[in-house]
Amino acid sequence: MDASFAALSDATRRGILERLGQADASITDLAGQFRMTLTGMKKHVGVLEQAGLVTTEKVGRVRTCKLGLRRLEEEAAWIERYRQLWDARFDALDQIVEELKREKRVDGEIKEC
């Protein structure tokens, strides 16, 4: 999971995944689309490949990239647990704010805090 989050922490790598979600692409095509050197793109693709998010295949002189088999299910479940935690905290905060508003009512009016 650490490798996945590390790979996803970079905007370029997230963009590469988005692009590969549309169609496979060569390293050269990706480098051109993201306006970077081949060496830079190879490094980004390497990080994604180590995380299992991208696979590459070399045919002749062309290295083609496609989405890997990892579907990020474990990562999504981890994020969902924290989303639920934060939702519960925000709901509790909303209740406190509503209680404070009720306490501030004077003669049917709400005074600004």
The mean-pLDDT minimum among 30-39, 42-51, 62-71 falls in 62-71
Nearest CA to 15 out of 31, 28, 3 is that of 31
| Average of per-residue pLDDT values in the chain | 91
Residues 61 and 18 in one domain: yes
Average pLDDT over residues 61-69: 94
Q: In angstroms, rounded to a whole number, what is the distance separating the alpha carbons of residues 24 and 30? A: 10
Q: Please tell me the total count of domains within the chain.
A: 2
Q: Under a CB-based contact definition with an 8 Å cutoff, are residues 51 and 6 in contact? A: yes
Residues 97 and 79 in one domain: yes
Residue-number span of the structural domain to which 91 is assigned: 73-110
Containing 20, the helix (H) or strand (E) segment is helix 11-22
Tell me the whole-structure pTM to 2 decimals: 0.74
Residue 106, pLDDT above cutoff 60? no
Residues 48 and 21 in one domain: yes
| Sign of the torsion formed by the C-alpha atoms of 22, 24, 26 and 27 | positive
